[in-house]
Structure 1
Amino acid sequence: MTNSAPKQRSDTADRSSIAPKVARFVFGALQGALLVKRTTDDPSQFSDVIAVMKLQLAARR
Structure 2
Amino acid sequence: MLPAVAVAIGPLLGVDRSGTAWLALAVAVAQQVVWATLGAIRAGASRRMAVAEGVVNLLLGLVIVAA
Q: State the TM bucket, normalised to the shorter chain.
A: 0.5 to 0.7
Q: Number of matched residues? A: 47
Residue ranges of structure 2 left out of the alignment (5+ in a row): 1-15
Distance apart, 1:25 and its partner CA: 0.3
Percent identity of the aligned residues?
13
| Bigger radius of gyration among the two | 1
* Cα deviation 1:3-49 (Å, max 9, x = unaligned): xxxxxxxxxx6522302211210221111011012112062643442
Match of residue 25 from structure 1: 28
Query: Which consecutive segments of 4 or more residues in structure 1 shift more than 2 A?
Result: 42-48
Q: Distance in 2 between matches of 1:54 and 1:47?
A: 11
Amino acid paired to 1:49: N
**Superposition RMSD on alpha carbons, in Å?**
2.3
Q: Distance in 1 between matches of 2:23 and 2:58?
A: 19
Residue ranges of structure 1 left out of the alignment (5+ in a row): 1-12
After TM superposition, the score normalised by the length of structure 1 is 0.53
Contact 2:29 2:58 (C-alpha < 8 Å) held by counterparts: no
Contact 1:36 1:45 (C-alpha < 8 Å) held by counterparts: no
Question: RCO greater where, 1 or 2, for CA within 8 Å and sep 6 or more?
Answer: 2
